[in-house]
Amino acid sequence: MRNIEPRYELDIVEKSVKGFVYFCIGASLFCLGGLIGSQRAIGIYMEILNEERERLRAISEIYDSSLDNHQRIGSFTNIESRIK
């Protein structure tokens, strides 16, 4: 068995603990960044869904307003061209 100086052994332990603490901090920041990024992505996706819902609601209103005696007047492409 080798004889290691106590100060050198303490230095190794100190550096190992510091390295582990820095690793934990880095991993935590990485996970936090991932959570923030995924929340932003979900927010963007929800905005797109809301815009699509509004577009479909407008199509539905135009379609409903074009009904005469429960029969469709005009084609769906005409309805879409009125929205744009």
Which residue is associated with the tokens 């550096």? 15
pLDDT tens digits along 2-46: 666 666 777 888 889 999 999 999 999 999 998 888 998 899 999
Domain parsing of the chain, residue ranges: 6-83
Residue 57: closest CA among 30, 22, 83, 31: 83
Q: In the numeric block, which tokens belong to residue 61? A: 């209103």
Q: Which residue has the higher pLDDT, 17 or 62?
A: 17
Q: What is the pTM of this model?
A: 0.48
**What are the tokens at 60?**
């539905």
